[in-house]
Amino acid sequence: MQAFSLQDGRLCAEAVPLDRIAEQVGTPAYVYSRAAIEAAWRGFDEALGEHPHLVCYAVKANSNLAVLQLLARLGSGFDIVSGGELERVLAAGGEPQKIVFSGVGKTAGEMRRALEVGIRCFNVESAAELTRLNDVAGELGVTAPVSLRVNPDVDAGTHPYISTGLRENKFGIDIREAEAVYRQAAEAPHLSVDGVDFHIGSQLTDLSPIADALARVLELVDRLAEQGITIRHLDVGGGLGIRYQDETPPAPEDYARVLLDGLADRDLTLFMEPGRAVVGNAGVLITRVEYLKDGPEQRFAIVDAAMNDLLRPALYDAWQAITPVRPRPDGEALAWDIVGPVCETGDFLGKQRTLALAEGDLLAVHSAGAYGFVMASNYNTRPRPPEVLVDGDQFHVVRAREPLAELWRGEQLLD
Ligand SMILES: Cc1ncc(COP(=O)(O)O)c(C=O)c1O
Ligand SMILES: N[C@@H](CCCC[NH3+])C(=O)O
């Protein structure tokens, strides 16, 4: 949960210097720490102690196969939102019985595949989706396990683009309509009601909206029990924040305490879907300064990473720490806008960063393990960067830089 630190040019807890990685794979490149990922996942798993639970890592945060494989080996479950993520989890050795499938727009094809492999549960987000899932399960002659994602209408107090638990958001089933939809589910011949689910937003730094949402959803569970609809598991989604700058996100133990206190003596298995908090501070994006440019109003450090590699600053105006891998203690510290080569004014990684810089310097953009590579694109026909996993004193290139010719594979010239 701590902001990631570099010690002597290395990811903390790992022995490989980042400049050695840069020499071998070039820049920009994502670098992840195995030790940090595993420690963060265990933090959630251990916080829930003996209470029956399943930590379903949210694949969307970082879906690199080697990252998924590490988590699968720890016994992690997975929260997926597409057929593509399902295939990734299976390819990485994830157990189908530990997969939950979220998302508002599941296609019939995605449902079919998930039923064929036998996932643990579908987090259903509308009455229409429930009808489709029942039909698809019926065609296959199987029963689909379901949990309804309810929208508890609480303000998560996060960026509006990543807040999901308000009535006006597209996510989940309005909590006031949930009982009726549960009755529909209970009567459907090819569905079995197993759980209830909520997820109110991402980068949450305060536990009180989670406690509010939990209380509302537990009232629903109790009302359903009175009607003979038994809920066996409660999925509390993900969303726990990390420290990017000066945030003080709750520790997994405090989070777990709120959840377990809320449950009281109810017999509910807990599922959780953390993404960012598992991988966010376990990764950096390394990039090299190409040019220093003195504009009339502003100094620019033009680096070789851009918004296509790391979108969060451009999309959310997100702040991520940027530090030199080898600081220049005797250099003059000046305020720089750290910008990329893409042809957009919004292409920046950081603004007004006071640093002593020279051309050729290697920089690390911190907290880049979550929503980094997964949101990268080929805009400006730039190859997506390689991904490297550091494991003690070794490192592995777990995804190579895309060769340029791959960027137009499948395209056709006209006759
Ligand atoms: C349903 C669901 N579960 C889990 C997550 C993971 O969220 P986070 O990375 O904030 O933990 C998300 C994304 O916000 C989500 O939409
Ligand atoms: N992409 C967002 C988080 C989205 C959460 C997805 N449900 C971010 O970088 O902060």
Distance, in Å, from the CA atom of 129 to the CA atom of 108, rounded to the nearest integer, reads 9
> pLDDT above 70 covers what percent of the chain?
98
Please name the residue that has the structure tokens 């502003």: 298
Q: Check whether 296 is labelled as a binding-site residue.
A: no
C-alpha distance across the termini of the chain, in Å: 56
Please tell me the predicted confidence (pLDDT) of residue 146.
Answer: 98
pLDDT of 162 > 70? The answer is: no
Helix (H, G, I), strand (E, B) or coil at 154: coil
Helix or strand holding residue 133 (H, E): helix 127-140
- Whether 316 has a binding-site annotation, put simply, is yes
Number of the ligand closest to the Cα of 236: 1
Select from 392, 397, 362 the least CA-distant residue to 16.
392
Cis peptide before 160 (omega within 30 of 0): no
Give the chain's mean pLDDT. Answer: 95
Note the pLDDT tens digit of each residue in 203-212. Answer: 999 999 999 9
pLDDT digits (tens, 9 = 90+) for 70-127: 999 999 999 999 999 999 999 999 999 999 999 999 999 999 999 999 999 999 999 9
- Using DSSP's 3-state secondary structure scheme, residue 204 falls into strand
Mean pLDDT, rounded, for 130-149:
98
| pLDDT higher than 60, residue 329 | yes
Question: What amino acid positions are annotated as catalytic residues?
Answer: 343
CATH superfamily of 6-31+280-408: Lyase, Ornithine Decarboxylase; Chain A, domain 1 (2.40.37.10)
Per-domain residue ranges of the chain: 6-31+280-408, 34-277
Of 54, 150, 276, best ligand 1 pocket probe by most atoms within 8 Å of the beta carbon: 276
User: Is the pLDDT higher at 165 or at 326?
Assistant: 326
34-277: which CATH number, 3.20.20.10, 3.10.20.340, 2.40.30.110, 3.40.50.1370? 3.20.20.10
Mutation to probe ligand 2, out of 59, 202, 243, 285 (largest number of atoms < 8 A from CB): 202
As to burial, measured by CB atoms within 10 angstroms (0-12 exposed, 13-18 middle, 19+ buried), residue 42 is middle
The two three-digit tokens of residue 22, written as one number: 């840069």
Q: Write the pLDDT tens digit of every residue in 13-54.
A: 788 999 999 999 999 999 999 999 999 999 999 999 999 999
Output the pLDDT for position 1. Answer: 42
Query: 288-300 pLDDT, tens per residue?
Result: 999 999 989 999 9
Q: Which residues pair with 338 in a beta bridge?
A: 301, 350
Say what the pLDDT of residue 167 is: 74
Q: What is the pLDDT of residue 296?
A: 92
DSSP 118: T
Q: Over 50: is that where the pLDDT of 147 sits? A: yes
Strands 334-339, 348-355: pairing is: antiparallel
> What is the pTM (predicted TM-score) of this model?
0.96
